[in-house]
């Protein structure tokens, strides 16, 4: 991402924090998505090694919260996670639901006792005064509201992940507790 051409972006919380370290003209305005990652594990196996995307510290925290110190966390490139799972290099992985939906394995939600911030809105400070920003927020809020309808969500998911999602798949999405969040200015996004 180039900060000279970027006005705003929806990115994972760790990427947003790193971006702000390099360019303090930006800030995290609010949470966009919670719990959009899922666990995918081998059937019948208690995980001893879980793969996570490198530099996604919140994923490491998710594994620690679920499995404690009994499970080794294996950071790697995000694109390597499916390969590592399929080739038994790890017993499970944490992946964004859109990347893990079609993988073989037992899929489970990451949220048990709490919600995890997975995506935030990163905005350049001076852009918040631009009328286009206000239009974006209005359109975003409208979209979040529309996606509360299961029919709308089902159709949008089918188009987004380019797979055939049934009502059963939508029920699974709900069980995973994935939340699309209206933009509410946040001051504390600690996971």
pLDDT attached to residue 1: 53
Give the residue-averaged pLDDT of 24-44. Answer: 94
Question: Residue 7: which domain range?
Answer: 1-35+117-129
Tell me if 73 sits within 8 A of 156, measured CB to CB: no
pLDDT attached to residue 163: 66
> Does residue 57 sit within a domain?
yes
Q: Which two tokens stand for residue 188?
A: 């504390």
Q: Enter the pTM of the model.
A: 0.86
- Per-residue model confidence as pLDDT tens digits over 54-70: 999 999 999 999 999 88
- Per-residue model confidence as pLDDT tens digits over 117-162: 999 999 999 999 999 999 999 999 999 999 999 889 888 887 776 6
Query: Partners of 106 in the beta sheet?
Result: 41
- Mean pLDDT, the chain, integer: 89
Same-domain check for residues 61 and 93: yes
CATH number at residue 73: 3.40.190.10
Same-domain check for residues 75 and 57: yes
Same-domain check for residues 1 and 58: no
DSSP classification of residue 71: S
């Amino acid at each position: 991402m180039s900060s000279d051409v970027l006005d705003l972006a929806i990115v994972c919380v760790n990427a947003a924090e790193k971006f702000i370290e390099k360019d303090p003209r930006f800030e995290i305005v609010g949470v966009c998505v919670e719990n959009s990652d899922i666990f995918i594990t081998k059937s019948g196996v208690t995980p001893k090694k879980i793969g996570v995307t490198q530099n996604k510290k919140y994923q490491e925290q998710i594994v620690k919260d679920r499995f404690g110190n009994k499970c080794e966390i294996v950071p790697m490139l995000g694109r390597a996670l499916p390969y590592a799972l399929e080739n038994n290099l790890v017993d499970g992985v944490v992946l964004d639901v859109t990347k893990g939906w079609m993988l073989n394995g037992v899929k489970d939600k990451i949220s048990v006792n709490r919600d995890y911030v997975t995506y935030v809105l990163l905005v350049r400070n001076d852009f918040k005064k631009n009328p286009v920003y206000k239009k974006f927020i209005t359109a975003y809020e409208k979209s979040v509201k529309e996606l509360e309808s299961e029919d709308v969500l089902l159709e949008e998911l089918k188009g987004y992940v380019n797979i055939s999602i049934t009502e059963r798949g939508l029920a699974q999405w709900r069980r995973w507790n994935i939340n699309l969040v209206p933009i509410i200015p946040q001051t504390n996004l600690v996971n």
